[in-house]
C-alpha cells in the first residue's frame, strides 16, 4: 500500500422525511480501492434507515482517456460499498437517512495497481 485517506462523516434526522447528502472525493490519477462503511447507528423508531454507497467514479483508462462509471443509486439495489480502479480521479458517494443517527467512514487505499 502506498498510502490512504480516511474521512468520517455523520447523518442525523429525527423526522420521517429522508435527508440525503452527496459528496465527491478528487485525487490525481491513482490506483485506488474505495470503501464506505457504517460506524455507529442509533435508530429513533422502527422505520429508521440509513442508505449509503458510491454512485459514480471517474478514472483514466490504460490509454489515458477519462472514463466514467455510474453505479446503482442508494435505493436501487446492488449498492456499491467498495470498488477499485486504476487511475481513479474522483469518487462520488451518497447517504440518505431517516429517523436515525449514523456515523460512517469513507476510506481510499492507494496501491501500485488494483484489480
pTM of the model: 0.93
Candidates 102, 85, 103, 81; CA nearest to 93 is: 81
* Residues 70 and 1 sit within 8 Å (Cβ to Cβ): no
108: its cell numbers: 481510499
| Any domain includes 95 | yes
pLDDT for 46: 87
pLDDT for 107: 98
Count of the separate structural domains present in the chain: 1
| Any domain includes 64 | yes
| Any domain includes 110 | no
pLDDT of 47 over the 90 cut: no
* Residues 40 and 9 sit within 8 Å (Cβ to Cβ): no
C-alpha to C-alpha distances, 41 to 13, 44, 58, 65, nearest whole angstrom: 12, 10, 30, 40
Range of the domain at 40: 11-104
| Any domain includes 2 | no
| Any domain includes 49 | yes
Amino acid at each position: 500500500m502506498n498510502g490512504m485517506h480516511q474521512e468520517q462523516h455523520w447523518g442525523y434526522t429525527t423526522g420521517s422525511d429522508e435527508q440525503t447528502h452527496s459528496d465527491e472525493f478528487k485525487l490525481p490519477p491513482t490506483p485506488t480501492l474505495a470503501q464506505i462503511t457504517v460506524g455507529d447507528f442509533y435508530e429513533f423508531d422502527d422505520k429508521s434507515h440509513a442508505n449509503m454507497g458510491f454512485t459514480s467514479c471517474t478514472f483514466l483508462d490504460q490509454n489515458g482517456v477519462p472514463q466514467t462509471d455510474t453505479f446503482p443509486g442508494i435505493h436501487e439495489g446492488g449498492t456499491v460499498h467498495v470498488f477499485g480502479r486504476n487511475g481513479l480521479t474522483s469518487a462520488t458517494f451518497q447517504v440518505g437517512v431517516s429517523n436515525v443517527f449514523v456515523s460512517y467512514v469513507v476510506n481510499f487505499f492507494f496501491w501500485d495497481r488494483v484489480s
